Amino acid sequence: MSGLLDYLVEQAKDIDPAAFTLSKATEFKKTYADLEALPWIDFNVDTDGEPIWLRVHRLEAARAPALPEPELAPFLVIGDDPAARPPALKETALASARNKDAGIVGEEVAEQRDEQRRARVGRLLQVYTQHWNDWALRERPRRQVMTLYADLFALKTRLESEEAVRPTELVWGMGVSSWRITATNQTGSPVSADFHYPLITQAVELEIDSASHAIAVRPRQVEPRLEFDAFAACAVPGIGDVERAARTLLRERPDMTVSPFDPTTVEPILSLVAANVAASARYDREAASAPAASEELVVTNQWVVFTRPRASHFLIDDISRLKERVSAGNAIPDGPLSIVTPPGEAVIEHDPIAFRGLSGRAASRGEARELYFPLPYNREQETIVQQLARSPGVAVQGPPGTGKTHTIANIISHYLASGKRILVTSKGEPALKVLQEKIPVSIRPLTVALLSGDKEGMRQFQASIEAIIHTLTHLNPRMEEEAIAACRAALDRAHEEMARIDTRIDDIARAHLGEIDVDGVPLRAQKMAELVIDGREQFGWFDDQLSLAAENAPPFGDEAGMQLRDARRRLGSDLVYCHATIPASCDLLQPAEVGRLHEVLQTVREIERDEAAGMLLPLRATTPEVLDDARQLLAALDLAAALVRELEESGHEWVFALREKCRRADFATERASLEALFSEMDALLQARSEFMQRPVTAPREALEHPKALEAIARGAESGKPFGFLAFGVGDIKPHIGAIRVAGLAPGSTGDWAHVQRFAALHTRLLSFVVRWNTFAELLSLPLLQPDVAQLRMTEQVALAARRAHTLATTHDVMLPGLAEQVFAQVPRSDLLGRHADLARVREHLRRHLTRAELAEAMTSLATLRDKLAGATGPVSDQLRAFVEHALGTADLPAERIVADYADILADIRRIEALAPVLATARQLAGDIERHG
């Protein structure tokens, strides 16, 4: 046994010098430097004589200040995190608001509104940012405390529910030191490790105050630990003597207590280490933190709170105490002894044990005992108790939810009632808490649960002792003995009653499991009952009382009965059509016709919904006269829309300004001047075609100077623009010489005649342009240039102006008049608007006319309903539901409607094919009915 315990100690020792560094404490680690500047944190608090080294108050987050102008909140980005970015403009929201305004009031007004909005939001942002920064400055340390509280709360929950193989513990380290250890281990191999770790650690626990909810970190009632294992693993010379001296200093303290806030409790040990472990070691009392690991051992008085895997020294200490008892010759319990004792060769025979209750009838097979299980149990739990009574140990395993905790609670209650003590261990608190809750309330004070921490365990231990003392103080032995005797008598009576019930059950079982002879066939009662029950389901509908009299003879022979049976088998669920009336399939619409009817109904109902919702302009009436006027208005709208589309495609916005002014009476004079130029414009456009085939290029001076025109006329008569002796024409000769016809200098009378016509065209164009430009600005027309080369542009401008004039003076006058004969309320703005506006009015007209045209198709629906009048049977109901609810539904496509209708039609035809079978069933059923 001693060797086995030594083996366990060696297995538990797993010291890695490289693990003694605080950088590996990633789960939770806080130093004094991390916490000293935070408010609402208390250090070294004494409450009722119990020290609290750290207390973190529970706080609530303060929200960011409210905006003075909440309506501008959508245009700002405001965070609720004081450590995040300060408030800023929300550019996407501002851009969205500007685009929305542009779609309503236009770009110019939207730009003005955007500038005003940005200025207002900017002023608000400037004022609010100052308030937000003030709030953030106050809130940042508050949030840091809240984060610390949340970390400690989560850590407390994790520590209480820890069930891992290597659980975690929270310790308070004192004397944080650093050293690069270079030595040889016990095997002689060189070892090098960076040590950055406290020299003294005290296990601490977390507790939440029930009143203030503050989290307190208090030392546990366990001895402080000297963290010299890394030095020992690296075989640092003299570390054993240093550790013994340090332990002596600890024992000199009352209750071996240390405190990070009382230097006198830790400085003697820290000074001892600095003076004896290494020649280059020093103790730095003023260091704010331990420096990086180096060849010099630096010991500081700084502390750190951190989590680490729970060390195995608890197990080693327990094993050491066990070894002392084994060495002292104390008796070894049978359970541990069986582990180190070789098994015997003889078969072990156990006396049978039977517990009264669940196995009461089996008591005769062995010693009868009482089973004190307060919770419901089964035979497997009884077997566990039997095995425990025979063997020093029993292993029970099973997946979660199979009742292991339930079984343990029963076994604890049984052994407590038998006067025994029980120890229950678990890797985590939750399982023990659930187990304690399952213990009956009457004996729960006899249980002590070492949960949550030392303080909670001691509290429960004290409560249990007080409950036991209270019970013993008020105990009357004589009355208790009488009560026990009464309970035993009641228990015996209960077992006797259970035995009588078991005997009665045996008698009933023999009666029902025996065989009875029925017509020479042996049958059990269960089989006879099954025959009666099954026969009732098959023949229970036939409630007539029959006899062998003639009036009860069958109405037809076996052959007819076979026909009826065959007919019913063939019909199956179609038997309901024996007395049903279904529409003839040849009189119904074909699937393609139903598909077209469905689309017609969808269109009509969509128009009716839009008209009811106010989305469709209502007509004055639906008379034929109004519909004829609507068709005329539709044709006029098509012409006007085509003209407006041409104007929009021209890309000129001035045409719509001209259109608007041509409708106004105050521009009548300018409009008349424009109309007077239309004929001249046609003449110019017709003359332009001649010069498209033979283009002429000439300086403007050659086309307007009188002498130049005389020279061109002379050239048209003689072929030469100047005579033999030409005087006074020196100033025009260069201009005449620059004239070209189709890129060549004119050389014949025909060429000069062509040039003379070009000059005449230029003169007419000059006159046209001068008159045009006189009123162009008043009518928002573009100014023209008297240049034949730009006559194409002049033609485009003039044509666009004529179309705008025609639209304003013809269509804009005619459309409102026609609309008054059609609509109840004339959409005048749409009729005088752009192409989209005219298209909207046209769509209203088209839908009204479509509904009028489709009304004729509704007669098919009425015909279909007439065919269903008086029809019965499931298929008729199915077709009627299809017509009333599916046909014309907006969200059902025509393909599905056609397919569903085709299925119904095929079902009707199938039933029609069953007419002979239905007739046979109907006839024979009538014969049965007539015979009563």
Domain total in the chain: 4
pLDDT at position 928: 73
298-302 long-range contacts, CB within 8 A, separation 24+: 298/177, 298/178, 298/179, 299/175, 299/177, 299/199, 299/270, 299/271, 299/273, 299/274, 300/175, 300/176, 300/177, 301/174, 301/175, 301/263, 301/266, 301/267, 301/270, 302/31, 302/32, 302/175, 302/176
Confidence band (pLDDT; 50, 70, 90) for 186? low
**Do residues 703 and 781 share a domain?**
yes
The neighbour count for residue 512, using CB atoms within 10 Å, is: 11
Higher pLDDT residue, 412 or 601? 412
Higher pLDDT residue, 182 or 858? 182
CA 211 to chain centre: 38
Which residue is listed with tokens 């098959």? 538
Contact 712, 756 (CB under 8 A): yes
Residue 841 lies in a domain: no
Residue 364 has pLDDT above 60, yes or no: no
pLDDT at position 546: 54
Pair of tokens at residue 166: 């290597």
Residue 859 has pLDDT above 80, yes or no: no
**Do residues 247 and 310 share a domain?**
yes
Q: Taking phi first (over 0 means left), then psi (-120 to 50 degrees means alpha), and beta for anything else, what does residue 870 get?
A: left
**Do residues 93 and 187 share a domain?**
no
**Do residues 668 and 816 share a domain?**
yes
Confidence band (pLDDT; 50, 70, 90) for 359? very low
Q: Give pLDDT tens digits for 751-798.
A: 777 777 777 777 777 777 778 878 878 878 888 777 766 667 777 787
Q: Please, which residues have CB within 8 angstroms of residue 449's CB and are 6 or more apart in sequence?
A: 432, 433, 436, 457, 460
Residue 192 lies in a domain: yes
Single residue among 116, 132, 161 that ends a domain in this structure: 161
Helix (H) or strand (E) holding 367: strand 367-369
**β-pairing, 353-355 with 190-208?**
unpaired
**Do residues 588 and 633 share a domain?**
no
3-class SS at 752? helix
Q: Give pLDDT tens digits for 146-165.
A: 999 999 999 998 887 765 44
**Do residues 688 and 736 share a domain?**
yes
What's the rounded mean pLDDT across residues 398-423?
85
- Calculate the alpha carbon distances from 487 to 361, 378, 483 in Å: 21, 23, 6
pLDDT at position 519: 52
Residue 488 has pLDDT above 70, yes or no: yes
Single residue among 319, 338, 364 that ends a domain in this structure: 319
Confidence band (pLDDT; 50, 70, 90) for 610? low
pLDDT at position 148: 95
Pair of tokens at residue 152: 């400690």
What's the rounded mean pLDDT across residues 317-335?
76
What's the rounded mean pLDDT across residues 669-674?
80
pLDDT at position 306: 95
Helix (H) or strand (E) holding 273: helix 263-276
Residue 429 lies in a domain: no
**Do residues 668 and 766 share a domain?**
yes
Pair of tokens at residue 669: 């004079």
Single residue among 300, 319, 338 that ends a domain in this structure: 319
**Do residues 893 and 909 share a domain?**
yes
Residue 2 has pLDDT above 70, yes or no: yes
- Calculate the alpha carbon distances from 718 to 712, 714, 752, 754 in Å: 10, 6, 9, 14
Residue 530 has pLDDT above 90, yes or no: no
Domain hosting residue 589, numbered range: 562-611+855-930
Burial (CB count within 10 angstroms: exposed 0-12, middle 13-18, buried 19+), residue 703: buried
Residue 13 lies in a domain: yes
Q: Please, which residues have CB within 8 angstroms of residue 73's CB and are 6 or more apart in sequence?
A: 67
Q: Residue 395 gets which letter from DSSP? A: -
Confidence band (pLDDT; 50, 70, 90) for 506? confident
pLDDT at position 164: 47
* Amino acid found at 497: E
pLDDT at position 691: 67
Burial (CB count within 10 angstroms: exposed 0-12, middle 13-18, buried 19+), residue 734: exposed
Burial (CB count within 10 angstroms: exposed 0-12, middle 13-18, buried 19+), residue 206: buried
Higher pLDDT residue, 383 or 122? 122
pLDDT at position 548: 39
**Do residues 188 and 103 share a domain?**
no
Residue 440 lies in a domain: no
The neighbour count for residue 322, using CB atoms within 10 Å, is: 17
Contact 736, 702 (CB under 8 A): yes
Which residue is listed with tokens 């006159």? 767
**Do residues 643 and 734 share a domain?**
yes
**β-pairing, 76-77 with 50-56?**
unpaired
pLDDT at position 518: 58
pLDDT at position 205: 92
**Do residues 118 and 175 share a domain?**
no
Burial (CB count within 10 angstroms: exposed 0-12, middle 13-18, buried 19+), residue 95: exposed
Burial (CB count within 10 angstroms: exposed 0-12, middle 13-18, buried 19+), residue 667: buried
Residue 895 lies in a domain: yes
3-class SS at 221? coil
pTM score? 0.44
Which residue is listed with tokens 């990086």? 292
pLDDT at position 755: 74
Residue 342 lies in a domain: no
**Do residues 681 and 807 share a domain?**
yes
Distance CA 857, CA 568 (A): 43
Residue 419 lies in a domain: no
Q: Give pLDDT tens digits for 110-147.
A: 999 999 999 999 999 999 999 999 999 999 999 999 99
Distance CA 581, CA 583 (A): 7
pLDDT at position 645: 85
